[in-house]
Structure 1
């Protein structure tokens, strides 16, 4: 199969989006340190390289770009070299879920962004008044994306979500380049991502 034939040193560029206080930075540090870390609001963006061992025993490096809405010059356009998008929503706030829906659909309807795999992370599922995954899917008017219920504090659901995102990325890359190694990265790709996020 395609997945079993890929090397174990894959590295992917992931843009992490979501409204403020959705838990993006908490998710990043939970994945990186495997523990809860108190965070402060992101001023512009964070970037972290995180190695994850997936269910098939392959070690994958996800290079996350944690972007704060309304601060990046990219607006609704994500960098061309983005392999996938992680979009966080808060499971306990219907009003903010509606706002997140507007931003999410704005991003995914741009022609340049279409086809990029999107993982919806429904954070704060540990709270008693949280919406169910099916309720969130209905509120977001879900397209063919994957919604993963999670808790950033405990880490529940995060690895499962990354495994699903990884599968979606590999299938897309293989469809685009069926006769090439989809894991081969272009020189300067990280520079291009950094340049995009740093420009005003």
Structure 2
């Protein structure tokens, strides 16, 4: 079942538009995830130097996904994209355990941002197709996600490369958008 099929089934209001901000460290798989959501070829991905925007439309839904580069020098500019965000997608490379502390710090800083106050968070524990990947539950525990009380959140194990788990994350988003309060 593709993203468009899921959206058709979960459509709750006509002409619903969502602004999704897609963030995470460099090499986490953000652009691969975006291309998977748009049903595009993922065989040739290059690092994002600025940002990518994709809109997916289907029977009253319009998802505007902003994929912002994750290199250290670009991260200070993330805040320029916070306004009017409906959902934050945060992508974590589950196989890069050396960077768990860094990604946790970046996530914590994002969650403190006033313009993202109360914005639902979908964390994609990406690269689950790799043998060295930490399970989503281990990542959630390591990032102390259970202490997050000011917003709804979900961690979704996935492989952006194979598409496994990606649409499950989108199902969560569609089901929970009615709970979002600005």
State the match for 2:161 in structure 1.
153
State the match for 1:183 in structure 2.
none
State the match for 1:19 in structure 2.
25
State the match for 2:43 in structure 1.
37
**Gaps spanning 5+ residues in structure 2: where?**
1-8
What RMSD over aligned residues (CA atoms) do the two structures have, in Å? 2.4
Deviation of 1:99 (Å): 0.7
State the match for 2:67 in structure 1.
66
State the match for 2:4 in structure 1.
none
**Gaps spanning 5+ residues in structure 1: where?**
53-57, 177-200
Q: Residues 10 and 174 of structure 2 are in contact (CA less than 8 Å); yes or no, is this contact kept in structure 1?
A: no
State the match for 2:3 in structure 1.
none
TM-score by length of 1: 0.74
- The SS at the match of 1:127 is coil
Deviation of 1:119 (Å): 0.3
TM-superposition CA deviations, 1:19-75 (whole Å, max 9, x none): 0011111111111125533111101111111246xxxxx763211100113426644
Deviation of 1:111 (Å): 2.8
- The SS at the match of 1:98 is helix
Instruction: Tell me how far apart the structure 1 counterparts of residues 11 and 30 of structure 2 sit (CA, whole Å).
Output: 32
User: What is the aligned length?
Assistant: 167
Deviates more, 1:111-120 or 1:32-41: 32-41
Instruction: Tell me how far apart the structure 2 counterparts of residues 8 and 132 of structure 1 sit (CA, whole Å).
Output: 37
Given candidates 127, 139, 148, the residue that maps to 2:130 is: 127
Describe the shift of the 1:5–1:22 C-alpha distance in structure 2 as closer, same or farther (beyond 3 A): closer
- Once the two structures are superposed, the pairs formed by residues 1-150 of structure 1 within 5 Å of their partners are 6-33=12-39, 35-51=41-57, 60-69=61-70, 70-71=73-74, 74-76=77-79, 78-142=81-145, 143=148, 144-150=152-158
TM-superposition CA deviations, 1:135-172 (whole Å, max 9, x none): 11111111252000000111011111012122332211
**Structure 1 residue ranges (4+ consecutive) displaced by more than 6 angstroms after TM superposition:** none
